[in-house]
């Protein structure tokens, strides 16, 4: 038999050395490599790359062969094989989305708080106030103190002031301010704490426990279709870092559905509230109230906020940052707990705050505090401002 001549230029090359045909990379290869590189560098992967990889997900359901194999495995004498098969099957037949409790011993554990009577762990709530009032700064102070080991986050304080906050990882998802603005405000916080005698730099105390996410180009966490891709990613991020607080700032950017539709707002609050419980991560949402006329603002009127009433109805706690004017005295800033489903009815509901050059431009508990009134006394006089010793 005559041997087949080799192509010109390949004489002397063994078959193993003949260059193999070069194939184009499979779809998703480049995108997944970029995603991996971004994560390794501490950056957020490009949304287009993420979607390209998600589109490669196999269609739902199983083939008939897979079904038969699972059933056979379920009847296997090997308990490990049977358990593995049941794990896969149980995901297919799951039809309930709630937790069931039928055995009652009435020995429920004590409620866990991030801030006693103000901020329950794993619950959703609101922080409202007029634009430029200082809601974002207040939330940043809270997050920084949590990440830095916990403690009194509004200064040393006086009698009947805000309780200390627990330690934990805090995530701020902000759609308005870049991280440079956060750095400037954190510098104010550090200056104030240094004046209080804190020797350890703030950056060293918070470490990686304070996580600030610029969300301006990310889009909302919720749309008319429900939880968005960004919302799923944000939840995964919080769970990955075992966060105990998530701040969404502000609601108008985080929420992409109709602001005035109660049904959609209730669904949003219930869904995020359910996640907060499962993840043991409180969700604090910053929101603006409607514009009040000048006279109302001077008199310190307590306004609701724009949008559906379901936002406040579904919130388990509700803080309001506002001004209050008494007689001829200058207006004072008040942090008011308008709602606290689990709070002690006798706990303080108002905290007077100061923000000035003296406090390095961060919120601090004022020396003068209101006399707290019991809910059961409708005829009680308006709160007074007793003088106390600043400590």
Contact 123, 317 (CB under 8 A): yes
Tell me the domains of the chain and their CATH numbers. 64-92 (no CATH), 113-365 (3.40.50.300)
Beta-carbon contacts of 213 under 8 Å, excluding residues fewer than 6 positions away, are 171, 172, 173, 174, 234, 237
Q: What is the pLDDT of residue 384?
A: 40
H, E, C per residue of the chain = CCCCCCCCCCCCCCHHHCCCCCCCCCCCHHHHHHHHHHHHCCCCCCHHHHHHHHCCCCCCCCCHHHHHHHHHHHCCCCHHHHHHHHHHHHHHHCCCCCCCCCCCCCCCCCCCEEECCCEECCCEEEEEECCCCCHHHHHHHHHHHHHCCCECECECCCCCCCCCECCCEEEEEECCCCHHHHHHHHHHHHHHHHHCCCCCCHHHHHCCCEEEEECCCCCCCEECCEECHHHHHHHHHHHHCCEEEEEEECHHHHECCCCCCHHHHHHHHHHHHHHHHHHCCEEEEEECCCCCCHHHHHHCCCCCCCCCCHHHHHCCEEEEEEEECCCCCCCEEEEEEEEECCCCCCCCCEEEEECCHHHCCCCEECCCCCCCCCCCCCCCCCCCCCCCCCC
Q: What is the pLDDT of residues 192-234, one digit of tens each?
A: 999 888 999 999 999 999 999 999 999 999 999 999 999 999 9
Q: What is the pLDDT of residue 377?
A: 41
Burial of 337: CB neighbours in 10 Å, binned 0-12, 13-18, 19+: buried
Q: What is the pLDDT of residue 305?
A: 62
Q: What is the pLDDT of residue 390?
A: 32
Q: What is the pLDDT of residue 274?
A: 94
Q: What is the pLDDT of residue 170?
A: 98
Q: What is the pLDDT of residue 35?
A: 80
Q: What is the pLDDT of residue 379?
A: 40
Q: What is the pLDDT of residue 162?
A: 86
Q: What is the pLDDT of residues 357-380, one digit of tens each?
A: 888 889 998 877 776 544 444 343
pLDDT of the chain, 391 residues: tens digit per residue:
555 555 555 455 555 555 556 677 888 888 888 887 877 777 777 878 877 777 776 665 667 787 788 888 888 888 888 888 877 776 665 545 567 777 788 787 899 999 999 999 999 999 999 888 999 999 999 999 999 999 999 986 555 578 999 999 999 999 999 999 999 999 999 999 998 889 999 999 999 999 999 999 999 999 999 999 999 999 999 999 999 999 999 999 999 999 889 999 999 999 999 999 999 999 999 998 654 433 444 444 444 566 788 999 999 999 999 998 877 778 889 999 999 999 999 998 999 999 888 888 899 988 777 765 444 443 433 444 433 333 2
Q: pTM score, two decimals?
A: 0.70
Q: What is the pLDDT of residue 322?
A: 92
């Amino acid at each position: 038999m005559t041997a087949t001549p080799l192509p010109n230029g390949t004489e002397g090359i063994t078959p193993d050395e003949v260059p193999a045909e070069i194939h184009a990379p499979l779809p998703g290869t480049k995108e997944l490599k970029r995603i991996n590189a971004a994560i390794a560098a501490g950056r957020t992967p490009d949304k287009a790359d993420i979607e390209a990889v998600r589109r490669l997900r196999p269609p739902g359901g199983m083939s008939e062969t897979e079904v038969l194999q699972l059933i056979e495995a379920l009847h296997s004498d090997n308990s490990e094989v049977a358990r593995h098969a049941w794990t896969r099957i149980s995901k297919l037949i799951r039809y309930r989305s709630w937790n069931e409790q039928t055995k009652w011993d009435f020995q429920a554990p004590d409620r866990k708080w991030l801030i006693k009577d103000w901020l329950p762990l794993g619950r959703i709530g609101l922080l409202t106030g007029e634009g430029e009032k200082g809601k974002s700064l207040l939330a940043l102070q809270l997050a920084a103190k949590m990440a830095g080991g916990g403690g009194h986050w509004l200064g040393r304080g006086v009698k009947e002031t805000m309780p200390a906050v627990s330690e934990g990882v805090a995530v701020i998802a902000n759609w308005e301010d870049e991280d440079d603005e956060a750095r400037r405000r954190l510098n104010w916080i550090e200056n104030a704490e240094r004046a209080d005698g804190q020797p350890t730099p703030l950056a060293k105390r918070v470490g990686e426990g304070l996580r600030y996410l610029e969300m301006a180009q990310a889009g909302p966490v919720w749309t008319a279709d429900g939880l968005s891709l960004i919302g799923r990613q944000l939840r995964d991020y919080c769970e990955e870092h075992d966060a105990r607080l998530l701040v969404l700032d502000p609601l108008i950017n985080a929420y992409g559905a109709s602001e005035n539709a109660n049904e959609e707002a209730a669904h949003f609050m219930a869904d995020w509230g359910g996640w907060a419980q499962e993840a043991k991560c409180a969700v604090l949402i910053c929101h603006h109230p409607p514009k009040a006329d000048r006279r109302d603002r001077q008199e310190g009127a307590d306004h609701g906020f724009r949008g559906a009433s379901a936002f406040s109805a579904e919130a388990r706690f509700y803080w309001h940052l506002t001004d209050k004017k008494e007689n001829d005295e200058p207006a004072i800033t008040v942090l008011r707990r308008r709602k606290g489903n689990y709070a002690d009815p006798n706990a303080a509901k108002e905290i007077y705050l100061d923000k000035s050059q003296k406090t390095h431009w961060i919120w601090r508990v004022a020396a003068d505090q209101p006399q707290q009134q019991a809910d059961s006394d409708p005829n009680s006089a308006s709160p007074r401002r007793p003088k106390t010793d600043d400590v």
